[in-house]
């Protein structure tokens, strides 16, 4: 009995579990609840919010919003670590007061028509970091008071000409990091209150001037990191107060707007400009171009000018801009400076002259820069530096860089600390100071320990001696080492030469021995031949004489007796 009951209970539980997992696992509705929910706003009704974490929908499921009272005042809603795929249905009907919706990074694939038809209080919509590939016609209809729309970092390749239809009050649209190749000239026809727009990091090659036609209020346009080759001079003709224009990292060869000025910031760095026209802009960045000519209008407004890595040979058009605060002309082939070159730049705070081919500094050159805080003179092949020339003018200097020159000592009678009482950063690396001298330069009282040292990276991987990480030349050691190794190598080569000679002599002697042996053999053979010849001759003569009888007989007799004697002695022995 008990067993049967148990089984029944188990079966019921199993069925329940199956049905529950069935609704959440495949197909059907998924309930959406707020994890953190403050329907009325704890302190302030404007702070009522709902956040959802770890909510995941698959392709075959629908989101159903549950247990939310109709009178809720939720104004802010955000999803964390969630996958939505589509905008939840009836979201704005459930939260009629929603002002801010953040559905960034939720794998949204597509925005369907009417998704925002009830979003009548929505002012900020964040759809960044999703998987949108296109924005269809009129999808935002209903979001009548939307102010800010962020569609950055999706995969958007097509924008319908009516994508932003109905957004009559919108002031900011961000499309950074998508894959747009072109913009329809009527894309913003409904958005005359647009103030800020970004297409940074797309694939745009041209912008038709009509795109910004109606935008009288546009203040900031960010088009950096595209492939723009041209901006029509009338592009911002209607804009009454264009403040910031960012065109960095494009392919522009020419840039000039007709009868227009950009008030705050103009960024044109990393293009292919050969000349630069500026009309009353406070901050201009135009580094990494090929600029050799500067055409300035209302130049007294210019405060910051970054022209580094260009081809300027003359800076005469900028050295009379008396209100300039920051000037960077580093890495330009400017060449020698005159004593009076900077005489009018009395307000300068920062001056970068790195890699400009200066070679020599003269007394009086920086005598008007009493507000100067940063001076970069690195990589200029300076062979001498007299700190006296900066006294008593550069008392506010905080950063002084002379790295990468040919300095081996300081002329004059002053240390860095004496010269620049406010110094915070000093660069003296990659010069020719010897170690004892550098030690004296970089240790108190010549230099306060609090001063940070700039170190320019050196490709030389060899270990070098250094003082406070600034490498130096250890003269005595180096020269000693050098002479040692020189002598050593000289000796070695001597020895080598000698041993070679010895080898040669050895081989010669071996040759000689061979010759000698050969000669010996030859001599023996010759001697033998001569002997044989002589004997034959004598024998022949004797025979001849015998035949003719001219020979003495006694000798033969004597011979014969000797032979006899010998036989006799032999006999007696036996």
Ligand X SMILES: *[C@@H]1O[C@H](CO)[C@@H](O)[C@H](O)[C@H]1NC(C)=O
Of the candidate residues 111, 163, 286, 294, the single one contacting ligand X (CB under 6 A): 294
**DSSP class of residue 282?**
S
Phi/psi of residue 28, nearest 5 degrees: 90, -165
Please identify, among the stretches 1-9, 61-69, 259-267, 480-488, the one whose residues bind ligand X according to the rule CB under 6 A.
259-267
Min separation Cβ 386 and ligand X, Å? 12
Q: Half-sphere exposure of 529 toward its Cβ, with a 13 Å CA cutoff?
A: 6
Assign 559 to helix, strand or coil.
helix
Yes or no: say if 164 and 192 are a contact pair by the CB < 8 Å rule: no
Helices (H), 153-206: none
Min separation Cβ 446 and ligand X, Å? 11
Of the candidate residues 94, 176, 378, 419, the single one contacting ligand X (CB under 6 A): 176
Min separation Cβ 45 and ligand X, Å? 9
C-alpha span between 167 and 146 (Å, rounded): 7
Please identify, among the stretches 273-281, 462-470, 502-510, 560-568, the one whose residues bind ligand X according to the rule CB under 6 A.
273-281
**Residue 477 in contact with ligand X, rule: CB under 6 A:** no
The DSSP annotation for 1-19 comes to -HHHHHHHHHHHHHHHHHH
Of residues 47 and 551, the one with the C-beta less far from ligand X: 47
- Mention every residue, 6+ apart, whose C-beta is less than 8 A from residue 42: none
Of residues 316 and 450, the one with the C-beta less far from ligand X: 316
**Residue 272 in contact with ligand X, rule: CB under 6 A:** yes
Instruction: Round to the nearest angstrom and report the end-to-end CA distance of the chain.
Output: 149
Assign 543 to helix, strand or coil.
helix
Picking from 435, 433, 430, 402, the residue whose alpha carbon sits closest to that of residue 416 is 402
**Residue 476 in contact with ligand X, rule: CB under 6 A:** yes
C-alpha span between 362 and 193 (Å, rounded): 55
**DSSP class of residue 166?**
T
Sign of the torsion formed by the C-alpha atoms of 195, 196, 199 and 204: positive
**Residue 293 in contact with ligand X, rule: CB under 6 A:** yes
Query: What residues numbered 370-409 form the site for ligand X, per CB under 6 A?
Result: 381, 408-409
**Residue 357 in contact with ligand X, rule: CB under 6 A:** yes
Q: Is the peptide bond before 442 cis (omega within 30 degrees of 0)?
A: no
Of residues 217 and 425, the one with the C-beta less far from ligand X: 217
Please identify, among the stretches 211-219, 419-427, 431-439, 545-553, the one whose residues bind ligand X according to the rule CB under 6 A.
431-439
Query: What residues numbered 551-570 form the site for ligand X, per CB under 6 A?
Result: none
Of residues 98 and 139, the one with the C-beta less far from ligand X: 98
Min separation Cβ 39 and ligand X, Å? 14
Question: What residues line the site for ligand X (CB under 6 A)?
Answer: 96-97, 107, 109, 120-121, 131, 174, 176, 198, 200, 222, 224, 246, 253-254, 259-261, 267, 272, 274-275, 279-280, 288-290, 293-295, 297, 299-300, 314-317, 320-321, 334, 337-338, 341, 357, 381, 408-409, 413, 434, 436-437, 475-476
């Amino acid at each position: 009995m008990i067993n049967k009951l148990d089984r029944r209970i188990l079966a019921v539980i199993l069925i329940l579990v199956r049905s529950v997992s069935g609704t959440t696992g495949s197909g059907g509705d998924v309930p959406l609840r707020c994890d953190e929910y403050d329907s009325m706003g704890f302190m302030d009704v404007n702070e009522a919010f709902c956040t959802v974490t770890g909510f995941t929908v698959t392709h075959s499921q629908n989101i159903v919003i549950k247990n939310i009272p109709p009178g809720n005042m939720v104004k802010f809603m955000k999803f964390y670590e969630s996958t939505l795929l589509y905008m939840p249905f009836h979201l704005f009907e459930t939260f009629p007061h929603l002002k801010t919706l953040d559905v960034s990074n939720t794998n949204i694939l597509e925005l369907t028509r009417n998704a925002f038809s009830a979003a009548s209080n929505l002012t900020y919509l964040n759809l960044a970091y999703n998987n949108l590939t296109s924005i269809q016609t009129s999808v935002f209809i209903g979001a009548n008071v939307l102010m800010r729309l962020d569609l950055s970092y999706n995969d958007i390749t097509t924008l319908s000409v009516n994508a932003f239809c109905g957004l009559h009050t919108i002031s900011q649209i961000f499309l950074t990091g998508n894959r747009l190749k072109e913009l329809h000239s009527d894309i913003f026809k409904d958005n005359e209150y647009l103030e800020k727009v970004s297409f940074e990091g797309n694939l745009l090659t041209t912008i038709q001037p009509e795109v910004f036609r109606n935008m009288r209020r546009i203040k900031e346009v960010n088009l950096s990191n595209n492939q723009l080759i041209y901006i029509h001079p009338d592009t911002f003709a209607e804009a009454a107060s264009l403040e910031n224009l960012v065109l960095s990292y494009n392919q522009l060869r020419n840039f000039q707007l007709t009868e227009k000025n950009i008030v705050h910031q103009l960024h044109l760095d990393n293009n292919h400009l050969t000349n630069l026209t500026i009309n009353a802009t406070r901050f201009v960045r135009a580094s990494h171009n090929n600029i050799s000519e500067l055409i300035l209008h209302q130049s007294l407004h210019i405060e910051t000018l970054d022209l580094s890595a260009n081809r300027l040979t003359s800076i005469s058009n900028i050295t009379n801009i008396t209100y300039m605060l920051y000037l960077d002309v580093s890495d330009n082939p400017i060449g020698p400076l005159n004593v009076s070159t900077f005489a009018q730049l009395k307000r300068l705070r920062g001056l970068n002259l790195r890699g400009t081919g200066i070679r020599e500094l003269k007394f009086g050159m920086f005598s008007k820069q009493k507000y100067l805080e940063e001076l970069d003179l690195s990589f200029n092949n300076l062979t001498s530096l007299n700190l006296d020339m900066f006294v008593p003018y550069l008392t506010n200097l905080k950063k002084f860089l002379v790295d990468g020159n040919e300095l081996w000592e300081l002329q004059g009678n002053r240390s860095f600390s004496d010269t620049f009482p406010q110094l915070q950063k000093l660069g003296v690396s990659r010069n020719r100071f010897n170690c004892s001298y550098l030690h004296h330069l970089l240790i108190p009282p010549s230099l306060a320990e609090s001063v940070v040292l700039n170190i320019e990276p050196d490709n030389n991987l060899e270990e070098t001696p250094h003082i406070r990480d600034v490498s130096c030349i250890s003269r005595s050691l180096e020269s000693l080492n050098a002479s040692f190794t020189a002598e050593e190598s000289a000796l070695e080569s001597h020895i080598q030469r000698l041993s070679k000679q010895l080898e040669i002599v050895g081989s010669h002697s071996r040759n000689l021995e061979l010759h000698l042996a050969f000669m010996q053999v030859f001599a023996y053979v010759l001697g033998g031949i001569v002997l044989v010849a002589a004997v034959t001759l004598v024998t022949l003569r004797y025979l001849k004489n015998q035949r003719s009888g001219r020979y003495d007989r006694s000798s033969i007799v004597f011979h014969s007796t000797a032979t006899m004697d010998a036989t006799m002695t032999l006999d007696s022995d036996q």
